[in-house]
Amino acid sequence: MRLTRRAVSNLALLLCLPVSGMLRAQARPATDSIPEAIRVFMDCHADCDFEFTRREITYVNWVRDRQDADVHLIIRSQSTGGGGDEFTLQFIGRRAFLGSDDELKFTTRQSDTEDEVRRQQIQRIGLGLVRYVARSAFADRLRLSFTAPEGAAATPAQQPHDPWNLWVFRVSAGGSLRNESQFKRHSYSGSLRATRVSEMWKFRMTGNLQRSKSTYTLSDSTLYHSTVASYRASSLLVRSLGDHFSAGMEVNVSRSTSDNYDLNLHTTAGLEYDFFPYKESSKRQFVLVYSLGLSHANYRDTTIYNKVVETRPIHSFNASAEATQPWGSLSAELSATSYLDNFSQNRVSLFGFCSVRLVRGLDLNLNAGYSRIRDQISLLKAGLTDEEILLQLKQIRTDYRYNGSISLSYTFGSKFNNVVNPRFSGGGGGNCFCDGNSCFCG
């Protein structure tokens, strides 16, 4: 019995040693000779690799909540005419840096890889943090380096020669195949996109096709074949009329088996007004758009209104607002369209999203959408079969459509977010998803 007790005591001692060591390490106070680095909270509303950021920028303390930060970094992005993205980095000073705000912008190309984009992010984030680190206790540890460009560098006032004259093209094609004992499907798709964007003009032309064929073996061993195909093309031309106004013309052409169109042509011209200058679009927007035009349709089969061909005047109104601020983000859109020769045939849609910090660590997320539908003029007069309804092969009549979600999230615990440990993370991750107040990274 004495030997057994001794063995148990030794085993308990061995188990407790690592834990006690960890507790002593966590409780060990920092020496006064090592100052604390500034605290930064990264609030990303774009594609961000926070794990990579933490690995590369180690001269700041990354925190999990903006209330604990000395600098609140907000990252936003919007697409450019060349197919890349324009990133906006907004640095908001807090606590000792209150009132010391800054903003940096940079653009990426469509051909840039994911690694090239994140390295540009790191370089710009580091430049933006210099002014804050330089005023901290870590200033004497800060060093800057410069890499000279290869060959003769152009002066800032020079614009490099562009043989494409701002035109950017993108072509894609693909297909898929899936076979089972009682089901077969093959499909193919392709798209073409051409854009040209300058300070005064914006032009975009797109085209895409999708076609799929499926075969089902029913319970009585009969075969049911279905084909779904759509072909769409659109073009947009916009002229800038200053900091708040712009005028545009849009043409859309489509053909769809599910929507009963052999040809559907929309031509509209419109005027847009943004209450805020366009240069602030990455932070906030409040835009009103009114468009007027014609709609021409050749139907595959007779519609419920006994039409095979028709041309009708249409108009639409759209109001949208978007804001990204330290307290969270907000976006909403209201759109209304109708035929001018019959106002009862219309559609009104309202969508909204909101993420708000209620109290420290507690966030409220709301998402909702509603559409009142009165403009399904292409519905088949002959009606739909059960198979077409179940497989959603044809447009189904409805008076409305709505969706919504609500969620609360509460975060608590350690305020620091510096350590990177990718073990057993499935080989992926590294991305950081932020809701405006807290970030969670894989």
DSSP state of 163: T
Q: 278 phi and psi, to 5 degrees?
A: -60, -25
pLDDT at 268: 96
Domains of the chain: 39-143+412-441 (no CATH), 167-410 (2.40.160)
Q: How far, in Å, CA of 82 to CA of 137, rounded?
A: 42
What span, in angstroms and rounded, lies between the C-alpha atoms of 340 and 291?
12
- Cα–Cα distance, 37 to 63 (Å, whole number): 11
* Spatial distance between the Cα atoms of 69 and 116, rounded to a whole number of angstroms: 28
What span, in angstroms and rounded, lies between the C-alpha atoms of 265 and 295? 6
Per-residue confidence (pLDDT) for residue 26, from 0 to 100: 45
- What is the longest distance spanned by two Cα atoms in the chain? 100
Question: What's residue 157's pLDDT?
Answer: 46
Strand ranges, E, within 110-244: 167-179, 183-197, 201-217, 223-240
Residue 18 CA to residue 11 CA, distance in Å, equals 12
User: What is the reported pLDDT for 191?
Assistant: 95
Contact 361, 355 (CB under 8 A): no
Structure-token pair, residue 87: 């990133």
* pLDDT in the model for residue 438: 46
pLDDT at residue 340, rounded to an integer: 95
- Predicted local distance difference test score (pLDDT) of residue 423: 53
The one-character DSSP state at 131 is H
pLDDT given at position 422: 53
Give alpha helix (H) positions in 1-113: 2-27, 50-56
In the prediction, which pLDDT does 188 show? 94
Interatomic CA distance for residues 310 and 54, integer angstroms: 60
- The torsion angle over the Cα atoms of residues 338, 342, 344 and 347, rounded to 10 degrees, is -20
How many other C-beta atoms lie within 10 A of the C-beta of residue 141? 11
The count of C-alpha atoms lying within 13 angstroms of the C-alpha of 315, restricted to the half-sphere facing its C-beta, is 11
Instruction: Identify which of 358, 350, 354, 349 has the alpha carbon closest to the alpha carbon of residue 331.
Output: 354
Q: Which two tokens stand for residue 154?
A: 């152009």
Q: Which residues contact 247 (CB under 8 A, 6 or more apart)?
A: 238, 239, 241, 269, 270, 271, 272
Q: What is the mean pLDDT of each run of 10 residues along the chain (442 residues)?
A: 53 48 45 72 84 82 84 87 82 88 86 81 89 83 72 50 80 92 91 88 93 87 87 94 92 92 94 88 84 95 92 95 78 94 94 84 88 89 73 79 90 61 49 46 44
Q: What tokens were used for 61?
A: 């303390």
What pLDDT does residue 144 have? 75
CA dist 350 → 211, 318, 366, 370 (Å) = 31, 10, 14, 5
* H helix runs in 57-113, sequence order: none
Query: Residue 205 is encoded by which pair of tokens?
Result: 């032309």
Instruction: List, in sequence order, every residue forming a beta bridge with 119; answer none if it has no partner.
Output: none
How do 432-434 and 439-441 pair as beta strands? Answer: antiparallel
CA angle centred on 406, ends 400 and 408, rounded to 5°: 175
For residue 371, give the DSSP letter.
E
Interatomic CA distance for residues 366 and 330, integer angstroms:
10
- Side-chain-side CA neighbours of 102 within 13 Å: the count stands at 17
**Helix (H/G/I), strand (E/B), else coil: 307:** coil
